[in-house]
Amino acid sequence: MKARSDELQIFVCVIECGSISAAAEQVGQTPSAVSRTLSRLEAKLDTTLINRTTRRMDLTEEGKYFFEQAKGILDQMDELEERLSSRQKNPAGRLRINAASPFMLHAIVPHIEEFRGLYPDIQLELNSNDLIIDLLEQSTDIAIRIGTLSDSTLHARSLGCSPLHILASPAYLKQHGTPATVAELARHALLGFAQNEGLNQWPLRHEHGDRWPIQPAISASSGETVRHLALQGQGIACLSDFMTREDIRAGRLKVLLADANSGYRQPINAVYYRNSQLALRIQCFLDFIQGKLAEYASREFKG
């Protein structure tokens, strides 16, 4: 008996996810069904691919070789399907996108209806994570990352950039006053980030440079949490334009120290694992979101 493509897919998924239970959740099967598929595949090949215990699993030498070959076969199948789809000008299939909560909520979700209207055959799966994820472990096609990239193993496409604003609510300013200089920030409650110290370096010019380090009175791991704290008058925050533009326009947040702002803009990149030509469904989404960010930048430039 010959191995089937669905068996190859489950085997590769188990290795990439790191466990049978995680792979089972990914493919929508029970762990026992996934385990039976692996056993059936090993029986067909008459070799052990994975040494499994209750605590861990390790690829055998045969398993390592088979994984590389199976992955290549599946990639070729995906590429063939994408080429056929591309010829028909009809991008289709599941597209898994990961982004930090603020970007997902403010820069992606508002445009989903329009995207679905343009590409109804693309099945979107939207996941939010405020920490850096492993694209393979999470079976993610695209991850949107804000800030400077550090992982050189990933392919990246720049989607644009977003300015940072120093912000506070009218209620906070009424109670505590408005800082007129950068130095006066030391007398205010500042809102910062708990797991990314780089975000606690505000883009403000002063006599020693153009980055102002802060000591947060309240720290949070999510930019969306920091935004809500600022809206509730808990302090002054430094947040990206893409997530606060509507708050500023509506007067819910006021821009502070604009004259001292260094003008630094956070890079916005899409990262992905793909050594060959991008899948059409990925290309369509990246073009679409890049266009939306360009629209925002144009409106900002026009004032």
Closest to 136 (Cα-Cα) out of 277, 14, 282: 14
Closest to 161 (Cα-Cα) out of 146, 171, 173, 174: 146
The pLDDT value recorded for residue 44 is 86
Q: Average pLDDT, whole number, for the chain?
A: 86
The pLDDT value recorded for residue 151 is 60
Question: Which two tokens mark 156?
Answer: 């990246």
- Give CA–CA dist 269/210, Å, rounded: 24
For 39-95, the three-class secondary structure string (H helix, E strand, C coil) is HHHHHHHCCCCEEECCCCEEECHHHHHHHHHHHHHHHHHHHHHHHHHHHCCCCCEEE
Instruction: Quote the Cα angle for 220-22-85, to 5°.
Output: 95
Identity of residue 157: R
- Give CA–CA dist 186/217, Å, rounded: 11
Residue showing tokens 């956070």: 266
Strand-pair category, 265-272 with 142-146: antiparallel
Using the predicted structure, report yes or no on whether residue 302 has a pLDDT greater than 70.
Answer: no
Residue positions counted in the chain = 303
Residue showing tokens 């990925």: 282
Determine the distance from the C-alpha atom of residue 132 to the mean position of all C-alpha atoms in its chain, rounded to a whole number. 8
Using the predicted structure, report yes or no on whether residue 276 has a pLDDT greater than 60.
Answer: no
Mean pLDDT within 11-17: 86
Question: Which two tokens mark 118?
Answer: 């343009």
Model's pTM, two decimal places?
0.69
Q: How confident is the model at residue 124 (pLDDT cuts 50, 70, 90)?
A: very high
- Give CA–CA dist 70/7, Å, rounded: 10
- H helices present in the chain, as ranges: 5-17, 20-27, 31-45, 61-87, 101-103, 112-118, 170-176, 223-231, 241-250, 280-301
| Phi, psi at 276, each rounded to 5° | -100, -165
Question: Which two tokens mark 267?
Answer: 């890079």
Question: Which two tokens mark 241?
Answer: 């334009």
Using the predicted structure, report yes or no on whether residue 1 has a pLDDT greater than 90.
Answer: no
- Give CA–CA dist 54/50, Å, rounded: 13
Q: How confident is the model at residue 277 (pLDDT cuts 50, 70, 90)?
A: low
The pLDDT value recorded for residue 84 is 66
Q: Radius of gyration of the chain from Cα atoms?
A: 24
Interval 33-49: pLDDT, tens = 988 988 998 888 889 98
Residue predicted with more confidence, 232 or 49 = 232
- Give yes or no for a contact between 199 and 192, defined as CB atoms under 8 angstroms apart: yes
Running DSSP on this structure, what letter comes out for residue 104? Answer: I
